[in-house]
Amino acid sequence: MILQTDVLIVGTGVGGLFCALHIPEDKNVLMITKAKADESDSFLAQGGICVLKSEEDYDSYFEDTMRAGHYENNPEAVDIMLRSSRGVIDELIGMGVEFERDENGELLYTKEGAHSTARILFHEDVTGKEITSKLLSLAKSKKNIKIIEDCTMVDIIEQDGACAGIAARHKNGVCTQINADYTVLATGGVGGLYKHSTNYRHLSGDGLAVSIKHGIELENIDYIQIHPTTLYSGERGRRFLISESVRGEGAVLYNSHMQRFTDELQPRDVVTAAIYEQMKKDKARYVWLSMKPIDKKELISHFPHILEHCRKNGYDVTKEPIPVVPSQHYFMGGIKVNMSSKTSMDRLYATGETACNGVHGRNRLASNSLLESLVFAKRAAMEIGSTYKKYEPCPELDMRAYEDCDKDYGTLVLKEIERSKTEHEQNNNKA
């Protein structure tokens, strides 16, 4: 069986959804997702979304982003993101997304680690869910957008050096050929490859794997961010993230003797390193995070879901600290793309966490992820719409050849991550 669509988008996080919503409505868009449409890491984002508040904030915001990324960021990409941020926020609000406001109806801003000022919009402590659920609902209402759940991309279909669609496997094990004039990979990160991660387990670098297989350019795929504070658990599975905003609002870290040991508002990689060092000194499996310095009323109103999750795990954060440990969290590298999110293969785009346009550098600034995904997903859609050309459909292929072709993809990705890490280490030694 062959499915045919104008634009195929693999993934239903904010990147995939925002891209779909900006494709011209006279084009048919097919979205597939490996699990359920609402099981993307975009739904899990707690802290918020950055925005350039005014022209006076530009230099500060730009510097904060570059400094967090160890100045390995692409300045052009950073500039595009900042300049586009207010327009994206206005669009989201127009789509029904609600951000916290004061009694006069003005937007409220919070501050997180490595930010020099408060410039982050938020919705309680479930900002990702608020944004992504509204985009998903809107996408489902569009006549030109169709979503297929429990459908896994196992390979892209390459025809004359261009992407002609994908091979996909359904939940029943049957593989389907999906032909498309344009394909957008929005497959998320690599958390499913790691023992301790805040990511959904099914996010295992599928977009990277098919790119490696087809010789599509990658960039900095060993740049993997560890989040300093996730709730410690001895059980296996996804780790619960304790938002950067908690420390931004005043929470502090303690060692086993209940002594503060670091500046909690440094970039994530610096705080993570300090925690690992303290765990080593204490011979402990975790450190402690205290939210008591935060005003109780603010704590309850700003972080209700974090408080509730901790309560269910036996901790009253208004009275006692919680054990926290660093976990794999975000992927700064990925499939190399230009400023319109186009990959090195014709008719193939990538957006969101699976793509690397250089915005984040070596380490992402807190709450830049949702913004970056939205800005460059829209740019992908705008280029596809403005340059659209039909493509010769790929003839029918034997789908039996694709049934288990992805069985070694995880190993392939981890091996390439290690190779990239070794290359960076060798280059640093030479320098």
DSSP string, 229-286: EEE--SSSSPPPB--HHHHHTT-EEE-TTS-B-S-TTS-HHHHHHHHHHHHHHHT-S-
Longest Cα–Cα distance in the chain? 67
- Listed in sequence order, the residues at least 6 apart from 34 whose beta carbon sits closer than 8 Å to its beta carbon are 150, 151, 152, 153, 187, 202, 203, 206
Amino acid at 174: V
Out of 247, 268, 347, 364, which one is annotated catalytic?
A: 268
Question: How many angstroms separate the CA atoms of 145 and 142, rounded?
Answer: 6
DSSP string, 168-236: EEETTS-EEEEEEEEEEE----SGGGSSSBSS-TT---HHHHHHHHHT--EE-TT-EEEEEEEE--SSS
Amino acid at 314: G
Question: How many angstroms separate the CA atoms of 339 and 351, rounded?
Answer: 11
**Cα dihedral value 334, 204, 327, 354, nearest 10:** 20
Q: Is 268 in the active site?
A: yes
| Residues annotated catalytic, as ranges | 268
